[in-house]
Amino acid sequence: MDKFIGSHMIYTYENGWEYEIYIKNEDTIDYRIHSGMVGGRWVRDQKVNLVKLVENVYKVSWTEPTGTDVALNFMPEEKRMHGIIFFPKWVHEHPEITVRYQNDFIPLMEESREKYETYPKYVVPEFADITFIENAGVNNEQLISQAPYAGMTDDIRAGKLQV
Ligand code: FER
């Protein structure tokens, strides 16, 4: 697992949604969502379950304060991953409530998941191509420390965003 921990990746799902993840340590991720239904959303210090399934295949799973459940399988050697996201009905209907720096709005997420409907869930299973991968070390607090902006992933891939 040591090889995977510290991975900083950008990937584009086959539906066009672009995401960025940093595997901060053995049970924590930071991430930014650059496009798609909840583009602009970003989160630090989300607790996850992280396991190595077989050599070079890793699974990251968690449940969000919004009630969204996520399971991701990474195959870094193939530059591919597969993600499945289970959105509560309310996130599909009011994605804008979740599009923010979530860490500063945990009570709003918890209120919204009680106030609005959960079912039926909106399930999004997609493969993605990994377009950037580096190892940024463990517990790097600078890496995901600013809001996503248009063109940010191009800047990261071009090495223009040094942290
Ligand atoms: C991902 C798919 C979904 C991901 C995060 C999410 C970091 C989170 C979704 C949400 O909470 O709305 O690949 O990677």
Query: 63 phi and psi, to 5 degrees?
Result: -120, 135
Residue 140, domain member (yes or no)? no
Regarding the beta carbon of 70 and ligand 1, being less than 6 Å apart is answered yes
Please give the helix or strand (H or E) that residue 48 lies within, else none. none
Residue 96 Cα to ligand 1 midpoint, Å, equals 15
Ligand 1 atom nearest the C-alpha of 64 is: 11
Residue 145 has pLDDT above 80, yes or no: yes
With a threshold of 0.85, does the pTM exceed it?
yes
Residue 86, domain member (yes or no)? yes
Regarding the beta carbon of 38 and ligand 1, being less than 6 Å apart is answered yes
Residue 24, domain member (yes or no)? yes
Q: Which of 19, 22, 31, 58 is catalytic?
A: 19
Residue 145, domain member (yes or no)? no
Region 148-163: what's the mean pLDDT?
91
Q: Among candidates 114, 111, 106, 121, which has minimal Cα distance to 70?
A: 121
> pLDDT digit string (tens) for 53-81?
999 999 999 999 999 999 999 999 999 99
Regarding the beta carbon of 17 and ligand 1, being less than 6 Å apart is answered no
Residue 156, domain member (yes or no)? no
Give the domain CATH number at 65: 2.40.128.20
> What total of structural domains would you count in the chain?
1
Q: What does the pLDDT read at residue 162?
A: 64
Residue 64 is among the residues annotated as catalytic for this protein: yes
Residue 60, domain member (yes or no)? yes
Q: Among candidates 77, 72, 76, which has minimal Cα distance to 127?
A: 72
Residue 18 is among the residues annotated as catalytic for this protein: no
Domain that holds residue 61: 7-134
Regarding the beta carbon of 23 and ligand 1, being less than 6 Å apart is answered no
Q: Give the dihedral sign, CA 140/149/161/19.
A: positive
| Residue showing tokens 């066009």 | 16
Q: Among candidates 54, 55, 53, 6, which has minimal Cα distance to 26?
A: 6
HSE-up of 40 (CA within 13 Å, CB side)? 8
